[in-house]
Structure 1
Amino acid sequence: MTPKADAIELSEAELRDVTSFAAACARTALGFFEEAHPSDLRPREAIEAAEAFAGGGRRGAALRTTAWAAHRAARETASPAAQDAARAAAHAAGSAYLHPLADAHQVKHVLGAAAHAARALELAGGDDCAVGEREVERARRDAPPGVRTALSKLPPAPAGGGRMGELMRRLDLTLRG
Structure 2
Amino acid sequence: MADDHTTIELSLYELREVAGFAVACARPALTIFERERPDDRRPRDAIETAQMFADGAKRSKALRDSAWAAMRAAQETRDAGFAAASDAARAALAAASAGYLHPLAKATQVKHILGPAGHAARAFELSAGDDPVVGADHIAQARALANPVVVDVLRRYPLAPPGGGRVGELIRQLDASLR
One-letter amino acid of the counterpart of residue 24, structure 2: A
CA-CA distance at 1:24 after TM superposition: 1.0
Whether 2:10 is the aligned partner of 1:7: answer no
* Aligned residue in 2 for 1:73: 73
Matched, 1:166 2:169: yes
Is 1:112–2:87 an aligned residue pair? Answer: no
Unaligned runs of 5+ in 1: none
Alpha-carbon distance between aligned partners in 1 of 2:142 and 2:35, rounded to the nearest angstrom:
23
For 1:81 and 1:100, how far apart are their aligned partners in 2? Answer: 31
Structure 2 Cα separation of the partners of residues 165 and 5 of structure 1: 23
Match of 1:142 among 142, 145, 148: 145
1:77-104 CA deviation, whole Å, 9 max, x = no partner?
1211100000000000000000001000
Cα pair 2:18 2:150 within 8 Å, conserved = yes
TM-score, normalization by structure 2: 0.95
- Cα distance between partner residues in 2 of 1:40 and 1:4: 38
Give me the TM-score of the superposition, normalised by structure 1: 0.96
Pick one of 97, 121, 126 that aligns with 1:123: 126
Give the letter for the 2:35 counterpart.
E
Q: Deviations over 1:105-150 (max 9, x none)?
A: 0000000001000000111111000111111111001112221011
Query: Which residue in the other structure is 1:88 paired with?
Result: 91
Task: Please state how far the C-alpha of 1:13 moved relative to its aligned partner.
Answer: 1.5
Deviation at 1:4, TM superposition (A): 5.5
Letter in 2 for 1:91: A
Q: Matches of 2:21 and 2:38 in 1, distance apart? A: 25
- Count of residues in Structure 1 that have an aligned counterpart in Structure 2: 174
> Which amino acid letter does the alignment assign opposite residue 65 of structure 2?
T
- In structure 1, what is the Cα distance between the partners aligned to 2:4 and 2:25? 31
- What is the root-mean-square deviation in Å for CA atoms of aligned residues? 1.0
Q: Does structure 2 conserve the Cα–Cα contact (< 8 Å) formed by 1:74 and 1:83?
A: yes
Q: Runs of at least 4 residues of structure 1 off by over 4 A?
A: none
Q: Distance in 2 between matches of 1:149 and 1:11?
A: 12
Name the CA distance, whole Å, in 2 between partners of 1:113 and 1:4.
23
Question: Could you tell me how far apart the structure 1 residues matched to 2:115 and 2:64 are?
Answer: 16
Percent identity, aligned pairs only, is 57
* Amino acid across the alignment from 1:110: I
Measure the CA separation in 2 of the matches of 1:4 and 1:105.
Answer: 10
Structure 2 unaligned segments of length 5 or more: list them.
none
